[in-house]
């Protein structure tokens, strides 16, 4: 599905992306634009390659064909040193949080600063406390991951993701496993941080209501293709039967309830005659 957008306003541009793992095709000619300063959602059922897209954007994996550009730089053509430098401009909130279990909350947030900068410890302390204050957990800096609730752990991971003041944050299923209060806090944080810090955000999710509530632009992906894209209102009123089935969680629609197989009666009769 070709896009007609102002390319100068895009931080990430994906064109004619093809990617497969063995015989399994993940993407077949996908075009996606991630506009600067906006929250772009990538939605679709589990197993459609949403997390794969984040790996391709960050250069962990390389596409078989097509292009992925970040701020005008072709990801696949960067040297390892330049790719590592580019990744400092990206933050990542992993689905699991991925906190280091043997480090305190404070040290988890300080970790990227200690690894990638030569800042003095007193300045690192100020930055860590500022990031933890932004997510409401400055008072929890002495705790360890095992002492945190699921929602608190996700917020600590978010503080760590913004520690280096990246231009873009990638959220991989940020609402998975969260209770309603924790989810509400995360929703507010993602929107607030994006607006206050002038970030560009990519939210990968299959949580329809929550994601449509904060996104500026949405791509719905299925079977290796972009099924539809547009504003949240565009998606809510999509003419695609598949999109309507997805956003309304309908059991019946283009995605069948039964996995493809031989006729039921044939199966039963065949079993009886065997």
pLDDT < 50 positions in the chain: 1-5
Q: Looking at residue 274, what is its pLDDT?
A: 52
Q: Looking at residue 107, what is its pLDDT?
A: 96
Q: Would 70 be classed as within a structural domain? A: no
The full 3-state SS of the chain, as one line of letters, equals CCCCCCHHHEEEEEEEEEEEECCEEEEEEEEEEEECCCEEEEECCCCCCHHHHHHHHCCCCCCCEEEEEECCEEHHHCCHHHHHHHHCCEEEECCCCCCCCCCCHHHHHHHHHHHHCCCCHHHHHHHHHHHHHHCCCHHHCCCCHHHCCHHHHHHHHHHHHCCCCCCEEEEECCCCCCCHHHHHHHHHHHHHHHHHHCCEEEEEECCHHHHHHHCCEEEEEECCEEEEEECHHHHHCCCCHHHHHHHCCCCCCCCCCCCCCCCHHHHHHHHHHC
Q: Would 24 be classed as within a structural domain? A: no
Q: At what angle do helices 150-161 and 105-116 cross, to 10 degrees?
A: 20
Q: Looking at residue 142, what is its pLDDT?
A: 94
Distance CA(219)–CA(128), nearest Å, equals: 34
Q: Would 16 be classed as within a structural domain? A: no
Q: Which domain holds residue 145?
A: 38-60+77-255
Q: Would 220 be classed as within a structural domain? A: yes
- Picking from 217, 271, 215, 202, the residue whose alpha carbon sits closest to that of residue 54 is 202
Overall domain count for the chain: 1
Q: Looking at residue 139, what is its pLDDT?
A: 92
Q: Is the pTM of this model over 0.95?
A: no
Q: Looking at residue 236, what is its pLDDT?
A: 93
Q: Which residue has the tokens 């064909």?
A: 65
Q: Would 238 be classed as within a structural domain? A: yes
Q: Looking at residue 260, what is its pLDDT?
A: 65
Q: Looking at residue 5, what is its pLDDT?
A: 45
Q: Would 26 be classed as within a structural domain? A: no
Going by C-beta distance under 8 Å and a sequence separation of 6 or more, which residues neighbour residue 34?
10, 11, 12, 13, 40, 168, 200, 202
Q: Looking at residue 2, what is its pLDDT?
A: 44
Q: Looking at residue 210, what is its pLDDT?
A: 87
Q: Would 15 be classed as within a structural domain? A: no
Q: Would 260 be classed as within a structural domain? A: no
Dihedral sign, CA of 192, 193, 196, 201? negative
State the CATH number of the domain containing residue 206: 3.40.50.300
Q: Looking at residue 259, what is its pLDDT?
A: 62
Q: Looking at residue 7, what is its pLDDT?
A: 61
């Amino acid at each position: 599905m070709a896009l007609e957008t102002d390319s100068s306003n895009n931080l990430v541009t994906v064109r004619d992306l093809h990617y497969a793992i063995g015989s399994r095709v993940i993407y077949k000619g996908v075009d996606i634009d991630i506009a600067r300063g906006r929250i772009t959602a990538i939605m679709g059922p589990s197993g459609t390659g949403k997390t794969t897209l984040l790996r391709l954007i960050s250069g962990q994996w390389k596409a078989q064909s097509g292009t992925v550009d970040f701020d005008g730089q072709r990801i696949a053509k960067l040297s390892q040193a330049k790719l590592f430098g580019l990744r400092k401009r990206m933050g990542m909130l992993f689905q699991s949080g991925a906190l280091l279990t043997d480090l305190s909350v404070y040290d988890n947030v300080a970790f990227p600063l200690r690894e990638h900068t030569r800042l003095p410890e007193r300045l690192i302390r100020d930055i860590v406390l500022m990031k933890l204050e932004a997510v409401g957990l400055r008072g929890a800096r002495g705790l360890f991951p095992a002492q945190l609730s699921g929602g608190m752990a996700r917020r600590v991971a978010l503080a760590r993701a913004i520690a280096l003041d990246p231009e873009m944050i990638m959220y991989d299923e940020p609402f998975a496993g969260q209770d309603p209060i924790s989810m509400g806090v995360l929703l507010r944080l993602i929107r607030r941080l994006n607006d206050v810090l002038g970030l560009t955000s990519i939210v990968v999710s299959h949580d329809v209501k929550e994601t449509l509530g904060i996104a500026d632009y949405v791509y719905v992906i299925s079977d290796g293709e972009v099924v539809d894209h547009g504003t949240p209102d565009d998606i809510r009123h999509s003419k695609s039967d598949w999109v309507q089935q997805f956003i309304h969680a309908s059991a019946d629609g283009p995605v069948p309830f039964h996995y493809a197989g031989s006729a039921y009666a044939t199966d039963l009769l065949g079993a009886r005659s065997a």
